[in-house]
């Protein structure tokens, strides 16, 4: 569990005799430095921290992100997740240098990037609590798919979006063909993928690709306000509501009504429901614990 303003930190001890950390540990230190974590008021912020590469995702970054997501999913102190990037980019997609190196050694199909990306995006899309992408700059390729996997997308006026796959001779491969049409519809999804044109923040808002657009300097505050409201809400109920909404398309109305009933029974036994009822009796605003 996390405490206020705490950060997950890995401490690297020197080896017996004062030897330097092993090469593997030095690599791990670098990987963790490329994913910054901050926890305040129930909100866990994950910041991709490879600004020189516009926060492109190398294979180790995917693994690290997946591990943090899986840990935070079961941490009851985490009530909302924010994903953003350092510098001028949200995420430029796959790490092209790593990609080229794998191609050069004949390992493009075996070095595991796609499999790692699939595990990570499933962990993000399936994250049980509310998620917010704070898009500070470009979101291209896999970075485009990354923000699609969040519940909400707050875009800076400097944000830019591009499917990016067609330009590289590929079809989308990180969940975009499943996530995008559910957000903007099949025809608009095909337009974004087939024409592969860069879309600005205002156009992204018009077609429903993002939730809202704010001035670049207001992005941190706007994100904090959204995330703060979500983190102070009845998390137990929101997790059930999120699951119901995310799975509704595969259910009949009768099945969905039964699922809603079961979820309502669980919510009725929660501390948040008891607090809401007591607050109503006492004519005050409820203070939800998320339990």
Residue 3 token pair: 């405490």
Average pLDDT, integer, range 10-37: 52
| Residue 242 pLDDT exceeds 80 | yes
Task: For 76-125, write each residue's pLDDT tens digit.
Answer: 999 999 999 999 999 999 998 888 888 888 877 777 899 999 999 999 99
Return the percentage of the chain with pLDDT > 90, whole number.
82
Q: In this structure, what are the phi and psi dihedrals at residue 131, rounded to the nearest 5 degrees?
A: -125, 140
* Cα gap 50→223, rounded to integer Å: 21
pLDDT score of 166 more than 70 = yes
From the number of C-beta atoms within 10 Å of its C-beta (0-12, 13-18, 19+), residue 51 rates as: middle
φ/ψ bin of 288: left (φ > 0), alpha (ψ from -120 to 50), beta (otherwise): beta
Mean pLDDT of the chain: 90
Q: Does this model's pTM top 0.95?
A: no
Residues 6+ apart with CB under 8 A from 261: none
């Amino acid at each position: 569990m996390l405490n206020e303003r705490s950060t997950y930190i890995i401490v690297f001890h020197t080896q017996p005799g004062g030897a330097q950390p092993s090469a593997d540990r030095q690599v791990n230190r670098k990987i963790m430095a490329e994913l910054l974590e901050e926890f305040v008021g129930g909100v866990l912020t994950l910041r991709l921290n490879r600004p020189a590469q516009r926060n492109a995702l190398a294979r180790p970054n995917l693994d690290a992100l997946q591990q943090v997501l899986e840990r935070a999913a079961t941490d009851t102190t985490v009530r909302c997740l924010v994903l953003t990037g350092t510098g001028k980019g949200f995420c430029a997609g796959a790490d092209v240098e790593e990609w080229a190196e794998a191609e050069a050694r004949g390992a493009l199909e075996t070095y595991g990037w796609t499999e790692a990306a699939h595990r990570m995006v499933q962990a993000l899309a399936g994250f049980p609590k509310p998620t917010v992408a704070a898009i500070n700059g470009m979101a291209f390729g896999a970075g485009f798919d990354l923000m699609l996997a969040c519940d909400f997308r707050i875009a800076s006026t400097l944000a830019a979006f591009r499917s990016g796959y067609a330009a590289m001779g590929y079809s989308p491969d990180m969940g975009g063909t499943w996530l995008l049409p559910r957000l903007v519809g099949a025809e608009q999804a095909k337009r974004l993928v087939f024409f592969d044109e860069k879309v600005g923040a205002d156009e992204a808002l018009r077609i429903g690709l993002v939730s809202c657009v704010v001035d670049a300097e207001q992005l941190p505050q706007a994100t904090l306000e959204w995330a703060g409201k979500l983190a102070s809400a009845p998390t137990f109920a929101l997790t059930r509501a999120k699951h119901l909404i995310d799975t509704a398309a595969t259910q009949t109305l009768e099945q969905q009504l039964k699922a809603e009933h079961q979820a309502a029974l669980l919510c009725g036994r929660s501390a948040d429901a008891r607090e809401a009822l007591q607050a109503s009796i006492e004519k005050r605003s409820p203070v939800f614990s998320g339990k």
